Structure 1
Amino acid sequence: MTPPPRLNTLSHLSHAAVHYDLGGQIAVDRCFTFGCVEKRDNSSDIKLEVAKRLYNELVEKLGRCRAGKLATTTPTLAPTGPVPCPACRDCQAYFEHGHRSPGIYKLTVSLNNPPTFDAWCDFFGNHGWTVIQRRDQQKASFNRSWQEYQEGFGRVDGEHWLGNEKIHLLTQTNQKLNIQLVSSNGRVREGTWQWFIVGSESENYKLGIGSNGYNGTLRDEFSFYHHGLNFTTYDRDNDRLTHFERNCAISSKGGWWYDTCSNVNLNKGNGLGMFWYVTSERLLSSVMRITR
């Protein structure tokens, strides 16, 4: 096929349409390339030079395309999957960035405190949930010191306590709490509280949990009996039990928000069994998780 002629005059340009058909794939006319330069344009000297240059560049590109040397371009599509979230403060932030696969994620709660730590994220009910406690095999010891409960212990992909300081930082914004329990007979119970907060260390990681808006299949013993209580471990006695000078964490073999001692205790020592008042079945597993 003979290539189109190189143009030297405005007359050629204004009358000639370029039809350089490469196997039916390319057909270009003068209006597409030059914006329909017409003969009635009187500034012929400038227009001629510009139009000639554009036309001749087109001819060159068409020739390269004919030889198979012109790369094709594909439009850039907007990302449709999860996007990176280098400073996500909780699992809800990951949800908002498109993440939906449960697993271990890095959280950045505060720039001044442990800048980054691992947490397990669950995704359901249009939320990303940060797991703060999990027990399933009840093999890991929860009879830990104040410092261990403060920093956290265990494996975030297994049995663990995320850490009181991290929970305190996470709950500085309004949080919901979800608890799910599985009994030995396979029965699953759960409950969701609309307000959950843990105070600072100077407040003994005091528990705040509201009953308003609670819903679930668990009887709400948690907010009724444990709201406003301080955290206690075997080496830091903050419970309300005054007689016999007994420490609830020692007798229960686990750190918790104790009254005298507890109606709910999901950190109770191995062999004693997790406890939720009026739940007669033996509890096999528990998960505590929070979201905004």
Structure 2
Amino acid sequence: MFHIETEIRLVGPSMKTIKVSSRIECAMICSNDNCCSSSYDTILEHCSFFRDCCPSKEFSKESQTLTKISGFNPPPKDCSELPAESCSGVYVIQPENRPSMTVFCEMSIDNGGWTVRNDYLHFILRQRSYQVRFDLEDFTGNTSYAVYSTMYVGDESDNYKLKLTGYNETAGNGMSNFGGSSLSGMMFSTRNRDNDIDERSCAISRKGAWWYQSCAAANINGVYSQKYSNSAVYWRSWREKNGQKKTMMMTKPKP
């Protein structure tokens, strides 16, 4: 197993190795198992679990290190408050005036500090001014990303209404309607809660859940498929409606 950024091989006995589809799944399994760290091989899709929190390393290439929940007192309010040397992995955070929650922290991309899981977006984003980043990878290994300088999500009573401004970077503005208008101001739609402005239900036609308008130029909660489809996981401004292999949405405080 190897660390993808520093091209060094991880050495030391692993508890077990299983096949999983992503490094986030690998870390989540570790968080529920008797391990302290895990390593995900991106080529073989192998997840190895370690009792050691910091496996030894030597030079080589091709994998990613993930660390299990770490105890901090008090817990960080979001992933940006973790120590800079922290590994990507599953951590306990505690936003202001909320119980603690378990999230995945991405610590290797763009100076780290990104919170990946979006179950509690409202409680995290209401604390301060946040940016959001979308990372994309197609089935041939090409990658791209989009960053928005400001993001806020309302609470359940507001149907998780989205505020989004300031697009930048390489993937194109997928957080827009097909006509180019912003999705900012839209409420979150699901199959049983149609909050878009289209005459049909975008959540049903796109087979996903999103801040649809009429409908949207991105569908990262759609159907996992390599095919070109209205219901695929796509980011239209980058690869039209061709299905994406991996997508990731993550937030951290604005610099």
TM more than 0.5: yes
1:103 is aligned, of 89, 107, 119, to 89
Counterpart for residue 40 of structure 2: none
Aligned to 1:227: 184
Alignment of 1:96-175 (within 5 A): 97-111=83-97, 113=98, 115-123=99-107, 124-132=109-117, 162-163=118-119, 166-172=120-126, 173-175=128-130
- 1:219-259 deviations in Å (ceiling 9; x for gaps): 113154311111011111111013xxx21111222111011
Classify the secondary structure of the residue corresponding to 1:256: coil
Larger relative helix fraction: 1
Q: Does 1:286 align with 2:241?
A: no
The residue that corresponds to 1:31 in the other structure is none
Counterpart amino acid of residue 130 in structure 2:
Q
Structure 2 length as normaliser, TM-score? 0.62
Is the Cα contact below 8 Å between 2:224 and 2:244 reproduced in 1? no
Matches within 5 A, 1:1-292: 84-94=72-82, 97-111=83-97, 113=98, 115-123=99-107, 124-132=109-117, 162-163=118-119, 166-172=120-126, 173-211=128-166, 214-222=167-175, 224-242=181-199, 246-271=200-225, 272-278=231-237, 279-280=239-240, 281-292=242-253
Q: Structure 1: which 5+ runs fail to align?
A: 1-81, 133-161
Higher gyration radius (CA): 1
Higher strand share: 2
Post-superposition CA distance 1:163-204 (Å, at most 9, x none)? 2xx101111111110110001111100111111111111211
Q: How far apart are the structure 2 equivalents of 1:120 and 1:232?
A: 24
- Cα displacement (A) at 1:99: 4.2
Counterpart contact for 2:148–2:168, Cα < 8 Å? yes
Letter in 2 for 1:258: Y
Do 2:160 and 2:188's aligned partners in 1 also have CA atoms closer than 8 Å?
yes
Distance in 2 of aligned mates of 1:196 and 1:189 = 20
SS at match of 1:103: strand
* Superposed CA RMSD: 2.0
Given that 1:171 and 1:198 are in contact with CA atoms closer than 8 Å, whether structure 2 keeps it comes out as: yes
Percent identity over paired residues: 29
Counterpart CA distance in 2 for 1:83 and 1:186 is 35
C-alpha separation between the residues in 2 aligned to 1:189 and 1:226?
A: 20
Find the residue that maps to 2:76 and give its secondary structure.
coil
Deviations 1:54-98 (A, max 9, x none): xxxxxxxxxxxxxxxxxxxxxxxxxxxx9934321100011xx34
Provide TM-score, normalisation by structure 1: 0.55
Gaps of 5+ in 2: 1-69, 226-230
| Aligned residues between the structures | 171
